[in-house]
Copies of this chain bind each other. A is one copy, B any other.
Amino acid sequence: MAKGDVKLLTMWASPFCMRVKVALAEKEIASEEIEERDLLNDKSDLLLKSNPVHKQVPVLLHDDKPIAESTNIITHIDQVWSAKPLLPECSYEKSRARFWADYIDRKVHPAGRAIWSSNEKDEVEVAKINFLDIMKYLDGTLGDKDYFNGDTIGFVDILLIGLTSYFPAYEKFGDFKLEDHYPKLAAWITRSWARETVSESLSNPENITNFVIMMRKMFGLE
């Protein structure tokens, strides 16, 4: 599978980095991880040089050429390492996958963040309802399939599963259980986390919840 040298500029608590790690693992691509130590106060020169526009992780260095933005990176990985394709073969199905990818990218993480970004009961309730409304559509498109991609894990699965380390924090601060509302979607999370490619790529949800608590302290919410 050698198609050049692969490095990933990453940070352990970034859900967008986690999804890239899952994609690399599913494709069995060997890579070196370069951890950013302090994204708030001291971004590395390599990061600033590699992603001068957004200055954010993840960045994939493919033969030292930088590729930024996680969905873009995963699309690149799928095109260059074409074995075990993540996107469907059919053009129309590809467009469906891109549609849901965009939906996930725009909605899930900001909606989840809104749940823990306030101590106002009404605001938290609105944020929770909004988050569950977003999940409703994802649950609907998953349906009775094992994965969004069908029988095997694919593009949409990887983009969404990368964000799920944060879900227990959303449940804690929003006071709900996803499985009470969308048991199929909750089962998909359990099924996906049972894969080594996922569990070894994603940060432990307990550590993420502690990270969220630390951020809440920074924002004066705890």
Q: Interface on A for B, CB 8 Å cutoff? A: 53, 62, 65, 67-69, 71-73, 75-76, 79-80, 91-92, 94-95, 98-99, 102-103, 137
Query: Chain A: interface secondary structure?
Result: helix
Q: Is the CB of A92 within 8 A of B65?
A: yes
Q: Is the CB of B98 within 8 A of A72?
A: yes
A62: nearest residue on chain B (CB-CB)?
B92
Knowing A53-B103, A92-B67, A103-B53 touch, does A75 contact B98 (C-beta < 8 A)?
yes
Give the shortest distance, in Å, between A69 (CB) and chain B (any CB).
Answer: 6
Q: How far is the CA of A80 from the CA of B98 in the complex (A)?
A: 15
Q: How far is the CA of A102 from the CA of B98 in the complex (A)?
A: 13
A105: nearest residue on chain B (CB-CB)?
B102
Q: How far is the CA of A74 from the CA of B92 in the complex (A)?
A: 12
Q: Which residues of B contact A68 (CB under 8 A)?
A: 99
Knowing A72-B102, A102-B72 touch, does A67 contact B53 (C-beta < 8 A)?
no
Q: How far is the CA of A102 from the CA of B72 in the complex (A)?
A: 9
Selected A-B contacts with CB under 8 Å, 15 pairs: A53-B103, A53-B137, A67-B95, A67-B99, A68-B99, A69-B98, A69-B99, A69-B102, A71-B102, A72-B95, A73-B95, A76-B92, A76-B95, A79-B91, A80-B91
A106: nearest residue on chain B (CB-CB)?
B106
Q: Which residues of B contact A62 (CB under 8 A)?
A: 92
Q: Which residues of B contact A67 (CB under 8 A)?
A: 92, 95, 99
A53: nearest residue on chain B (CB-CB)?
B137
